[in-house]
Amino acid sequence: MKKNILIFVAALSVAGFLQLATGCIDRKNPFEPFLVPTPSGACSGAGSFGTKYGELQEFTMNPLNMYVCKYAITISVTVSSITLKLGNQMECDAAAAIYDSSGNLIVRSEMIRIKQGWNRLQIAETTLPAGTYGLAVQTYGSDSNVPMYTVDKKDGNDDMYVYSQPVWNREAPFPATLGTLVDTKHIFLLAYADYCPI
């Protein structure tokens, strides 16, 4: 009997390790907010730019705005996905995109249904030279506002930029250029793009 119990406990431990290693976790897992999916880049030297870790807090997003966090990369890379984290116990439609330092749209995902926790959105494989890029997120839900997880880096800097989006188009939610800047926040969205170095 004791042997069977030990085998069962060992099996649970292995299952837990696989969840941590692969990022394939139950959304009801109490540790889920602290876990991060493994990089999707199947290449040597795969990495990511964006924000994955930190003290989680929820920030209410208005579907009439775009939310952009800017990051610098020092090497040329290819990207094919953007991953973001939805807060609270709900679902919503969301899309993500990448803008260049001049505010021009480079690539965007389709608008898809996402759930609480990490959600990976596919984008067309795109090459990014070294430079500064904006990770942009838009949401649309049955409620007027949608909670996304954010992180306060406590550096006092304006880390998230809020742009107006007066004309909503679910099929093409991101404009060719960033709109009017209406606000800045001292927080980062929990969102990142996996990459493969070139």
Residue 117 pLDDT grade (very low, low, confident, very high; cuts 50, 70, 90)? confident
Can you give the length of the chain in residues? 198
**Is residue 79 over pLDDT 50?**
yes
Nearest Cα residue to 150 out of 51, 31, 36: 51
Can you give the pLDDT at residue 105? 95
**Is residue 18 over pLDDT 50?**
no
Nearest Cα residue to 61 out of 134, 163, 159: 163
Mean pLDDT, the chain, as a whole number?
Answer: 75
Residue 40 pLDDT grade (very low, low, confident, very high; cuts 50, 70, 90)? low
Can you give the pLDDT at residue 125? 95
Fold for domain 41-197?
Answer: Jelly Rolls (2.60.120)
Percentage with pLDDT > 70 across the chain: 67
**Is residue 96 over pLDDT 90?**
yes
Q: What are the boundaries of each domain within the chain?
A: 1-35, 41-197
- SS3 per residue for the chain: CHHHHHHHHHHHHHHHHHHHHHCCCCCCCCCHHHCCCCCCCCCCCCEEEECCCCCEEEEEECCCEEEEEEEEECCCEEEEEEEEEEEEEEEEEEEEEEECCCCEEEEECCCEEEEEEEEEEEEEEEEECCEEEEEEEEEECCCCCEEEEEECCCCCCCCEEEEECCCCCCCCCCCCECCCEEEEECCEECEEEEEEEC
**Is residue 7 over pLDDT 90?**
no
Give the amino acid at 190: L
State the burial class of residue 36 (Cβ atoms within 10 Å of its Cβ: 0-12, 13-18, 19+).
Answer: middle
Residue 1 pLDDT grade (very low, low, confident, very high; cuts 50, 70, 90)? low
Can you give the pLDDT at residue 56? 73
